[in-house]
Amino acid sequence: MFATQGATEYLDEAVTQAAHMLQTAHLAEQDDAGDALIAAALLHDVGHFTGTISGDQLMTGIDNRHSDAGADWLAQWFSSEVTEPVRMHVAAKRYMCATEPGYADRLSPASVYTLSLQGGPMRGDELAAFESSPHAQAACRLRRWDDAAKNPDAAAPTFEHFRPLLARLVRG
Ligand code: FE
């Protein structure tokens, strides 16, 4: 995926999907996230490729629910410490748009566009429901790396760098 579809798909950002996910994992590593959260960062957008609706369709106005598609796919091999921050990374954007002044202003244009498809900023009971998840904080950390990982000039390791980490986390 990193070498094929991910290396060519841009979804209206300045970096390919593969570069974006590698940069997200790199930021997680630099921020001393644990192995599970680094893996979640690396794989957070795989749902653009595994779901029944593609990432390209998301950019034409159909919510591809890539966070759920990705988390469900990853659950074949990984624990909830990996899958749930992935599942909640879109919710984390909606949460921080509602709770953090200035956050929405820093989103990329593509991310602002998809926000409208994904339900907009959270309201009412959604906020408390998000906060009550044991993975809420991890999801917000992942989201910040995600938002920052769209730099065409940023260096990041290759997928091979992360392979041993993934191998350690795969359930036997
Ligand atoms: Fe992302």
Using the CB atoms, write b or e for 19-33: b if 16+ within 10 Å. Answer: bbbbbbbbbbbeeeb
Tens-place pLDDT, residues 68-87 = 999 999 999 999 999 999 99
* Overall average pLDDT of the 109-134 stretch: 97
- Give distance in angstroms: CA of 123 to centre of ligand 1: 23
- Give distance in angstroms: CA of 44 to centre of ligand 1: 6
- Give distance in angstroms: CA of 28 to centre of ligand 1: 13
Domain boundaries, the chain: 16-88+135-169
- Give distance in angstroms: CA of 155 to centre of ligand 1: 17
- Give distance in angstroms: CA of 10 to centre of ligand 1: 11
pTM (two decimals): 0.95
The tokens describing 165, both together, are 């980490």
Instruction: Among 1.10.40.30, 1.10.10.60, 3.30.499.10, 1.10.3210.10, name the CATH number for the domain at 16-88+135-169.
Output: 1.10.3210.10
The tokens describing 45, both together, are 């957008």
